[in-house]
Amino acid sequence: IQSDVQDEISKTQREYFLREQMKAIRKELGEDDGSAELNELEEKIKAAGMSEEADEVSMKELDRLTRIPPQSPEYSVSRTYLDWLIDLPWSKSTKDRVDTVRAKKIMDEDHYGLDDVKERIIEYLAVRKLKAEISEDGKVKGPILCFAGPPGVGKTSLGRSIARAMGRDFVRISLGGVRDEAEIRGHRRTYIGALPGRIIQSLKKAGSNNPVFMLDEVDKVGADFRGDPSSALLEVLDPEQNFSFSDHYLEVPFDLSNVMFIATANLKDPIIPALRDRMEILDFTGYVEEEKIQIAKKFLIPKQMEENGLNKKDLKFTSGGIKELLESYTREAGVRNLDREIGNICRKVAREKVEGKTESTKVTKAEVLKYLGVQRFFSETTDRLSKPGVVVGLAWTSAGGDILFIEANKMPGKGKLTLTGHLGDVMKESAQAALSYVRANAEKLSIDPKFNESTDIHIHVPAGAIPKDGPSAGITIFTAIYSLLTDRAVKHTVAMTGEITLRGAVLPIGGLREKVTAAHRAGLREIILPHENKRNLEKIPKKILKDMKFHFVKEVSDVVDYAFPKK
């Protein structure tokens, strides 16, 4: 035993002696790598401009690193941690461009419309300018905005435009499908291969502590046994807390108060209430036809022509051609499908040019039909509204607004009400309320009071595969029942929306801009709305207001006066 122990001690002493000799030889030759590396790290720590707490932690970690042999696995863990602390932009920031006129011009170059959002950014820059005049360190907390709206309306691209207008760096992370809290806060250093969360990683990539930081698809964050990323975002997006954001990997506070956070979402409902409360939500409604024509002319057509190797002489779109694309081939709130269809036409023109069939093409309504084939969408309101019991309602969808046909039919029976068309509970209750009102006020409405004893009523909302819900179809269902029982057809230019009560009052609805836009797109020129929604008309584009006639009603009985032709 003594012999074995002696051999082991001798081996260890020999290795230590040889290492010391190597150190002495390197020192003599001026090749002392270890100390040079540590000295370089110390200089970097001093130059990084860290906070007092981070500086203290990094110096302590450096002192620990000097005592760890380079061959030890602990050495690389400690060195990686120090590199992260050094590389973060503790005191590096870009200077804001506070010229509000120039910033507005840059945002207008990149996006058409979206005036509410642009105004909010200009206001922020104006406040920055005033505070900088009062004091040099006039700090303004970065606004925490949430762009909510349907796909394809320019939420993400506007974030880039804002960064360009303000002269800031831009970083973006997609939160769609993120289920692990550590994605936001990072892993603790006890784990092998631990790294900071995506917030800190993105700031390192940006290279400044005041970028425009986009959190894309915040409504699609998941949650499972690994934690809830939405709850981790509460600290990031709270101006009262984010000046000392603590990442699990760094374990020292980092100031996020200079960052301008912009979240994007298609729907507001899936975002947890506490997180929604911390953000200033700016609604992106769908574009109206006039706006889409301008977007196509200024942005989409030049982009697709460049991508497909065409110049201005090769191809020209007329306003009629673009209008045909919008009405017959794309029905959406944004412009993604419009972009695709323009690209489709450009590719076909490029092929004709290569084959020598044409030198210049003018895309008119007829040419659109030639290139894209059969129309995908067409207006059928006039045909369907010629019969009693059919009424056009207006619906809000995540892709903007849409028109909704409500059909009623009667048959011999005992007063049964049948509802079909994949309707939700709220919509079914609206139908019950509408029928109850008709039964209670039959004489006043010139309907046989005993109709219920011998008649069954069936209400159907076509497109049965699509789920439908909400109270705003109340007056539409009432009108369909009234039209059926009085055998009077509704005017084919009229659409309507409004919630109904059991006593016949008409209550206000939401999503008015999208609904009115959908009616205008479908060629309907008269809309019956709740009286309370009169004040919301200012949000609707002037061109649509000019084309349309609005009737405001307080009671269900008023609807009859406007919905039917005069006797």
Token pair recorded at residue 368: 């659109």
Q: Which domains does the chain have, with CATH numbers?
A: 21-87 (no CATH), 100-283 (3.40.50.300), 289-372 (1.10.8.60), 381-563 (3.30.230.10)
Where does residue 392 rank: exposed (0-12), middle (13-18), buried (19+ CB within 10 A)? buried
At 383 the pLDDT is 58
**Using CA atoms, how far apart are residues 209 and 169, in angstroms rounded to an integer?**
9
Active-site annotation holder among 230, 328, 472, 483: 472
Known catalytic residue: 515? yes
* pLDDT above 70 as % of the chain: 95
Mean residue pLDDT across the chain: 85
- pTM of the model as a whole: 0.76
* Beta carbons within 8 Å of 533's beta carbon, 6+ residues apart: 508, 509, 512, 552
The helix/strand/coil state of 528 is strand
How sure is the predictor about 32, in pLDDT bands with cuts at 50, 70 and 90? low
**Using CA atoms, how far apart are residues 317 and 378, in angstroms rounded to an integer?**
21
CA distances 562 to 449, 479, 493, 546, Å, are 23, 11, 11, 19
pLDDT tens readout for residues 163-201: 888 888 999 998 887 888 888 888 888 888 888 988 999
How sure is the predictor about 427, in pLDDT bands with cuts at 50, 70 and 90? very high
Name which of 284, 283, 323 is nearest 521 in CA terms: 323
Q: Is the pLDDT of residue 379 over 80?
A: no
**Using CA atoms, how far apart are residues 8 and 14, in angstroms rounded to an integer?**
10
- Cβ distance 79 to 65 under 8 Å? yes
At 310 the pLDDT is 87
Averaging pLDDT over each range in 277-281, 290-294, 506-510, which range is the top one? 506-510
The helix/strand/coil state of 236 is helix
Q: Is the pLDDT of residue 470 over 60?
A: yes
Q: For residue 531, what is the DSSP state?
A: G
Q: Which helix (H) or strand (E) holds 262?
A: strand 260-265
Q: Is the pLDDT of residue 380 over 60?
A: no
Where does residue 362 rank: exposed (0-12), middle (13-18), buried (19+ CB within 10 A)? exposed
The phi, psi pair for 242, rounded to 5°, reads -75, 0
Active-site annotation holder among 515, 543, 557, 566: 515
The phi, psi pair for 432, rounded to 5°, reads -60, -45
Where does residue 559 rank: exposed (0-12), middle (13-18), buried (19+ CB within 10 A)? buried
Known catalytic residue: 472? yes
How sure is the predictor about 135, in pLDDT bands with cuts at 50, 70 and 90? low
Q: For residue 471, what is the DSSP state?
A: S
How sure is the predictor about 361, in pLDDT bands with cuts at 50, 70 and 90? confident
How sure is the predictor about 49, in pLDDT bands with cuts at 50, 70 and 90? confident
How many Cα atoms sit within 13 Å of 177 on the Cβ side? Answer: 1
> Which residues on adjacent β-strands are paired with residue 411?
456
How sure is the predictor about 482, in pLDDT bands with cuts at 50, 70 and 90? very high
Name which of 113, 120, 446 is nearest 292 in CA terms: 113
